[in-house]
Amino acid sequence: MDRGRILILGNSKESSFELRNLFDNHRFELEIALNKEIGKTVLSSRMMNLIVMHTETINEESTEFFSYLTGRGISLPLMVLGEDADSCSEKIDYEGTVACFEKPYPVADVLDYLADL
């Protein structure tokens, strides 16, 4: 995914910038949303290639966010990063591809995954 656009969703500045720092030195355009409503706005106005969510954003409200994506016909690849990312995948009802990476982040694996998109 050379020069791809990545939407980063976190519930806090700390988690959002933690994820941003993984991609910052690479050739990606990054959009940061501190909540799902801002994420919806970004997805409504810009073409994105990937959604990256921190595990802290996977909660009861996620169902509504994933329903929004489905209703809009958005099936972008989704990457979930953070503590217990593998167990979060069970809570995700999403039609697109989902990849999970736990902390400490295997940066080489994450970049390999992105290269395959």
31-56 pLDDT per residue, tens: 999 999 999 999 999 999 999 999 99
CATH of the domain at 38: 3.40.50.2300
74-89 pLDDT per residue, tens: 999 999 999 989 888 7
**Domains of the chain: total:** 1
Range of the domain at 98: 5-115
**The pTM is what?**
0.91
Q: Are 105 and 91 in contact (CB under 8 A)?
A: no
Residues 6+ apart with CB under 8 A from 87: none
Residues 6+ apart with CB under 8 A from 70: 94, 95
What pLDDT does 34 receive?
93
Distance, C-alpha 9 to centroid of its chain: 6
- The mean pLDDT of the chain is 89
